Structures are given as C-alpha cells and as structure tokens.
Amino acid sequence: MRRFLPTTTSTTSAFLLSLLLAVTAQAAENSQISAADRARAIQAAKQGAIKPAAKKAPARFDFEGEFVNYASWPEVRSFLDEMASRHGFDRAELDALIGKVRYVDTTVQLMKPAPPGKPKNWQAYSARFIEPVRINAGVKFWQENAEALARAEREYGVPANIIVGIIGVETVYGRNTGRFRVLDALTTLAFSYPESPTRAARMAYFKGELENALLFARKDGIDPLTLLGSYAGAIGLPQFMPSSIMKYAVDFDGDSHIDLRNSTADAIGSVAHFLVEHGWKRDDPATIAYPVTVSPSRVWEKFLGAGLAAKFTLAELQQAGVSSVAAPPQNMLYGLIDLQNGSEATEYSLASNNFFAITQYNRSYFYAMSVIDLGKAVSEARAR
C-alpha cells in the first residue's frame, strides 16, 4: 500500500491523511467513506497538502525467517546423507546449502488445523473466486493462450475452461504464485511440523517434497534458494509441488525446458497432463456435476463421505431419494457431494468421475466446484 506523509501539522492535513489512508487501504472496498470525502482527499493530494513518500521496492520474500542450525540436527544430517548416497549430491555443498536455510514460523502457523466449531460455508468460499477481477483476468489469459489451451484440449481431452479454472483459482493466472523461499518452507515443514495427530506422516511427505525440490533444481540448473512459491512449497502458475513437477510437468512450448514459473504453455499442458494421470476421461460428458434435491427420508446420507471417487449408479441414488432436474447419463457412476452453507441450507450435487479427478489436485469439494464455476464464468464472459 502506498503511504502518504503530511507536510503540515494542521488538523485539516491530519484528517486528510487518515482519510486517504483509509481510501487507499485494501479494506477500503467495505468502508463507509462518502464519495465527497474521498474526492476531498484526492483533491488535497493533487494540491500538495499531502505528498507521497518515495516508493519502496516490494520485498522479494514474503516471510519472516530466522536462523536455526538445521545442520546440527541428527535427522537433517541423516536426510543429507541419503541425498548424497542415493542421488550423488556433494555432501559439502549440501551442508553449505542447509546453512543458508531459514525456519519460517508462518508456514508452521498456517499448517495448524482450523479452530473447531466453525461451520463450512460454500457460498462464502465460492465468492472469493467467482468475482470480477478473477473472471476478467481469466478472459485475458484465455485470449492470450487460446492456441495452447486448444492444443491441450485436443491432446489430453481436458476442456480449456477446466484448465483456466484451475490456474485462476490457484494463482489468478500467475499474479499470486507465492514469495516464500521453497527450500525454507519445505525444510521447516519436513523437520519442524506443528504438533498434530498426523505430524509424522506430514513430515515424511514434506521430506519427500524437499528431496524432489533439490532434484528438480539440479535437473534444471536452478539455484534452489531462488525457487519461490507458496507457504507449503508449491511452485509456479499451477502451484505444483516439487514431486508433481517431476512426475507430471511437461514441456508444452517445445523449448526443451519445463518452466512452470514463466511459461504459460508449460503450465497449461502440465495441468492437463496431471488431470489425465489422475483419472480424467476425455469422452465423458462436458457436464461433470448435477445439482440435486434430496428427500426428507435421509436414506441418501449413506452415500455421503464415500471417498473421492464416483462409485454409485444413478438408479441406486434415485432409489435413496436423490433427484435431479437435469437428466444425468444412466450409464455412468456418481458420487453424492454436499456443499455446506453454514446456517443456510446445504447444496447437493451428483459428481462424475471427472469431478473427482479435479479433487486430486486439491482434495476438496469446494475447490473442485470453484474450478468448474470459475471456468464457466470466464467462458461466458469471453463469449459476450
């Protein structure tokens, strides 16, 4: 946010200063500042009553890191020994690298489970993604990458609107790819994960991601400390974890190099390839989720929470009291999903195989439905 400094100590300037700060703050969208007051502040700035301070360059890293001597930890030394013996890394170079890694408390705090008792709210979640800024950015992204999107659809059978939806939900088409040093985030989570029932399993997972981050950086000739990403270590426009980059990323722009940070084509092709590898079927119908109503008998509840897969026939679901205004194909399997709305009525849908392929990207009904809805909104805006 740009900061403004008063050139005078008068009451008027102080008032205008506080007012202009409110106008320019990110939360100003919801403020009660009148149009007249906003105009006064802007006019004052133009006349020099309030002068802007010199701009500061944005911080390159978005974290508060602190030095922890990870090199002295036995479990870290054991990990580095394995990297040297299994993958041929120079042990001295690994020691030097780990000496530059920082503990990031922000990643630890963000990994802690949400407080119990807060109800899920699909409408509030959806509103974060199906909004004008993201939709307009999606239209621009589609226009600029129409050829790559069409080619991905031909080669992989994944519609452009689904790819556009995923990249839009993940990073607003590359605007928010994360500014945490990936090595800091992954080392912190691999060896300093917060206390939880799943701590051991999660630490093992992030240790594997740290291993893959080092392998990826070596393979691409990248200084691993220059890799920036999310607080959990996800990288690039599609926010692939390092293991996903190694397994599913593709060179879709034909330059013999995979770059999910700068190549929109590589990001598009990699998203499509990921979905296919996780069960996407090109010949399934374009509609992948059907809104339904459920009967008061609640027999249908046995179909909820049955895992991230389409397992049930339409006849089974209908007999249990699930009905749809549309006519889903009879020859497919479905899952029954619930989209909770806090104190409001829960929404239900029948989800096909391709819906659950999207949940392999992020294991959430809310996420998959937001991808579908954003892709549809961008497609409709593009057609106007």
- Given a contact cutoff of 8 angstroms between Cβ atoms, the answer to whether 346 and 338 are in contact is yes
| Burial (Cβ within 10 Å: 0-12, 13-18, ≥19) of residue 148 | buried
Does residue 195 carry a catalytic annotation?
Answer: no
Q: Looking at residue 225, what DSSP letter applies? A: G
Handedness of CA 30, 31, 35, 38 (dihedral sign): negative
41-45, Cβ contacts within 8 angstroms, sequence gap of 24 or more: 41/16, 44/13, 44/16, 44/20, 45/4, 45/16, 45/20
Q: If we measure between CA atoms, which residue out of 182, 181, 239, 187 comes closest to residue 83?
A: 187
Q: What is the C-alpha separation between 277 and 299, in angstroms, rounded?
A: 34
CA atoms lying within 13 Å on the CB side of residue 352: 18
The H or E element that residue 104 is part of is strand 102-104
Cα dist. 136→143, 169, 383 in Å?
A: 11, 13, 12
Axis-axis angle for helices 160-171, 146-156 (nearest 10): 120
CA distance 21 to 14: 11
Token pair listed for 321: 């009291």
Between CA 145 and CA 262 the distance in angstroms is 13
Instruction: Spot the catalytic one: 66, 93, 147, 170.
Output: 170
Four-point Cα dihedral 302, 308, 313, 318, nearest 10: 50
Q: How far apart are CA 36 and CA 211, in angstroms?
A: 57
* Token representation of residue 263: 């190549």
**Rounded CA separation 77/187 (Å):** 12
Nearest Cα to Cα of residue 348 among 311, 288, 304: 304
DSSP letter assigned to residue 285: -
Instruction: Say how many residues make up the chain.
Output: 384
Point out the residues that are catalytic: 170
